Structure 1
Amino acid sequence: MSRFGPRGSRRRYAAGQPRSPVRKLADYGLAILLLGLLILVAARLDRFATRSEQGTAIVNDGDSITLGTKRIRMRGIDAPEYLQTCQRNGADYACGKLARQSLVKLIASRPVSCSGWQRDRYGRLLGECKAGDTDLNRAQVQAGWAVAYGDFETEEAAARAAKVGIWAGSFDEPQDWRDSHRDAPIERKHGTLASIGDAARELFRFW
């Protein structure tokens, strides 16, 4: 007997039983599932992270440009497609080409910067674009060469009242034109940015 009282019984610890193959497989499966969920969450966060692109713009049409290798769709507006025609004074004219030339003129050979966090179904960044202090998205609607598409309703109303650009005649909404011309390309690629002189001549040739 201990001088401090009876000795308590010593605890015995049995060695843990090895995990069965089924348990191991379940643990591995759970680890893989958790890893997959983490990757999915990271991809989602990356998808909605704000991105910025800048550089010399290649103008594809009235509402889309390419900066380097990045394709940008200008958010909140919808311009006539490059091959689209509109009507004025009973005659057809190439409003899609004029919309592109309007954007070329607004850029004026300046570097363009675009930022956004969403992408369209073609993988293009939906961006708010500027050339210097010029808000290109807003300016295209103000000039009458794009319709408001979720934004810039006030600018569209002013362009409509002033009968500028496509509002000087009649036209199909770009979305309606695309729906009826499924086989027509929605973008026109150009190797170089058109000069301001070319833009001005194209814009005013019809008028």
Structure 2
Amino acid sequence: MRRLIFLLVVLFVISAHEAVAEIAGRGSVIDGDTIEIRGERIRLYGIDTPESSQLCDLDGQRYRCGQQAALALADKLGEKTVRCAAKDVDRYGRTVAVCFVGGEDINRWMTFQGWALAYRKYSLDYVDAEDEARVAGRGIWRGAFEPPWEWRKEHPRGGATRP
């Protein structure tokens, strides 16, 4: 019985440690809401950005808004150290985390700049930042776009199409 209790305590401590694990290092951008640090893929928690091949519309002109989102994230990260607080692991095995550069929440920054939407299915943490970006007409809010989750349903292979 003591062994069982000891084993349960050890498992609890390990799982609690993993839930608050910090990942830090230089971040490489995979797409607008995914980075990699030291070989570990990290999905930014609570936000969703246009897919890499997704097109949006600005004044009647199509542009690759997913690529623009990724470029905005890359510019923000630069060569700085990124610190991510792990919250979960998604179905693709990626760590889901809130990440920071110089103490600034980059998930919030991407949403505030208008390159990400609050992913309400998983979190309401960034709804206020999305509202501010929409009102100010920043990022994808400057024109027409399809929410990324809807776009993925219609384009399971990721092909670029008109918004």
User: If the length of structure 2 is used for normalisation, what is the TM-score?
Assistant: 0.83
Count matched residues. Answer: 150
Q: Which moved more, 1:164-173 or 1:102-111?
A: 102-111
The ranges of structure 1 where at least 4 consecutive aligned residues each deviate by more than 6 angstroms after the TM superposition are none
1:118 is aligned with what amino acid?
A: D
The residue that corresponds to 2:67 in the other structure is: 97
3-state SS, counterpart of residue 178 of structure 1: helix
Radius of gyration: which is bigger?
Answer: 1
Residue 180 in structure 1 maps to residue 154 in structure 2: yes
1:176 is aligned with what amino acid?
A: E
Once superposed, what is the RMSD of the aligned Cα atoms? 2.3
- d(CA) in 2 for partners of 1:95 and 1:125? 24
Residue 46 in structure 1 maps to residue 15 in structure 2: yes
The residue that corresponds to 1:78 in the other structure is: 48
Q: CA offset at residue 133 of structure 1?
A: 2.4
- d(CA) in 1 for partners of 2:108 and 2:152? 22
Residue 141 in structure 1 maps to residue 111 in structure 2: yes
- d(CA) in 2 for partners of 1:148 and 1:83? 20
The residue that corresponds to 1:88 in the other structure is: 58
The residue that corresponds to 1:167 in the other structure is: 141
Indicate if the aligned counterparts of 2:87 and 2:98 stay in contact, CA closer than 8 A.
no
**Superposition pairs of residues 114-153 of structure 1, within 5 angstroms:** 114-149=84-119, 150=123, 151-153=125-127
Q: CA offset at residue 184 of structure 1?
A: 2.5
Q: CA offset at residue 42 of structure 1?
A: 3.1
1:165 is aligned with what amino acid?
A: G
Which is strand-richer, 1 or 2? Answer: 2
Which consecutive unaligned segments of at least 5 residues does structure 2 have?
none
* Identical columns (%): 39
- d(CA) in 2 for partners of 1:182 and 1:97? 18
3-state SS, counterpart of residue 54 of structure 2: coil
- d(CA) in 1 for partners of 2:52 and 2:11? 37
